[in-house]
Amino acid sequence: MPRERGTHHVQPHGSAYPGVEAVTLASDRAFPRHAHDQFGLGVLSTGAQRSWSGIGPVEAGPGDIITVNPGEMHDGVPMDARGRHWRMLYFDPPVLARALHDEILHPVEITRPVLRDTRLAGRFARLFAAITAPAPDRLAVEEEMLRTLALLLRRHGARRPPRREPPPCIRLALRRLDAAPDQPASLAELAALAGVSRFQLLRGFVRDVGITPYAYLLQRRVGLARQLLKTGLAPAEAAAAAGFADQSHMTRAFVRQFGVTPARYRAAVMR
């Protein structure tokens, strides 16, 4: 794909396996801080990027593997005007659990957001090719997926430690936004639930979650819209059901997080 300045190409692929999404990207855009509901595994083929992560700033260059755990906040900024080109696979957590239930008997997470592992990169390439083949064979996809995920977690996985819970006041606000992302919310409502002032709620939320309450609510709405689009709902219907003011608002938020429009995403997953 071309990498000239102003480049932004995102190609969502149809998947031969439910619960797995494949995406090819070439972009010089910066992606804001966000999280996914899925495990992400990819390889950067050209260019380089810098990312914020839970372990601090990290950098990835050609050949490096990039990963993300469900709910893990991260961003992505190209390190020069040429941008970068990469491929990603996203796995719904139940897919990973089912694939490895005989080998891994406890919740796991990937230990680092950037890995240098040529063997794993080779396995990823074979899995990506199997999933995005014009006429994918389910058995071939399952075999490659099992081998790739087993290698990933054997080399770079660990038992998931107990997550540091935010203070009770922030947990109450999160619970409200998670339970009803389609419903309007206000700082006054969240602060009243938490029993703190609006300023205390805002400062605490950014400190403990990494983004503002509004940014978090937008992400939850985008996530809900993504699930609705996968069921076949039209973008306009998904926007209304997810709580967006209109389809344009949803499209802007969707593109900022996933790099692709809701319509293109729906067309890919509905193949």
- For residues 113 and 183, state if they share a domain: no
Collapsing DSSP to helix, strand or coil, 126 comes out as helix
Q: Using an 8 Å Cβ cutoff, are 160 and 109 in contact?
A: yes
- For residues 256 and 226, state if they share a domain: yes
- For residues 53 and 127, state if they share a domain: yes
270 compared with 43, residue with greater pLDDT: 43
To the nearest whole number, what is the mean pLDDT of the chain?
Answer: 91
- For residues 141 and 178, state if they share a domain: no
Give the domain-ending residue among 132, 159, 186.
159
- For residues 109 and 210, state if they share a domain: no
Q: Quick one: which of 44, 24, 21 has its CA closest to 259?
A: 24
Residue 1 lies in a domain: no
CATH code of the domain in which 263 resides: 1.10.10.60
- For residues 143 and 203, state if they share a domain: no
What band does 1 get if pLDDT is binned at 50, 70 and 90? very low
218 compared with 99, residue with greater pLDDT: 218
- For the cut 70, the answer to whether the pLDDT of residue 207 exceeds it is yes
Q: Using an 8 Å Cβ cutoff, are 113 and 67 in contact?
A: yes
- For residues 96 and 213, state if they share a domain: no
Neighbours of 137 (CB within 10 A): 12
Residue 245 CB burial class (10 angstroms; 0-12, 13-18, ≥19)? exposed
Q: Using an 8 Å Cβ cutoff, are 156 and 67 in contact?
A: yes
Q: Are strands 157-159 and 108-110 parallel, antiparallel or unpaired?
A: antiparallel
Residues 255-266: pLDDT tens digits?
Answer: 999 889 999 999
CATH code of the domain in which 23 resides: 2.60.120.10
The dihedral built from the CA positions of residue 260, 264, 270 and 271, taken in this order, carries a sign that is negative
Name the residue range of residue 79's domain: 8-159
Collapsing DSSP to helix, strand or coil, 91 comes out as strand
What band does 6 get if pLDDT is binned at 50, 70 and 90? confident
Q: Quick one: which of 36, 9, 7 has its CA closest to 226?
A: 36
Residue 18 lies in a domain: yes
Give the domain-ending residue among 105, 125, 159.
159
Residue 118 CB burial class (10 angstroms; 0-12, 13-18, ≥19)? exposed
Helices 168-179, 213-230: crossing angle, 10 deg rounding: 30
Rounded CA-CA distance 148/210 in Å is 31
- For residues 148 and 174, state if they share a domain: no
Number of domains in the chain: 2
- For residues 199 and 142, state if they share a domain: no
- For residues 80 and 125, state if they share a domain: yes
What band does 224 get if pLDDT is binned at 50, 70 and 90? very high
Q: What is the pTM of this model?
A: 0.87
- For residues 151 and 57, state if they share a domain: yes
Give the domain-ending residue among 159, 180, 209.
159
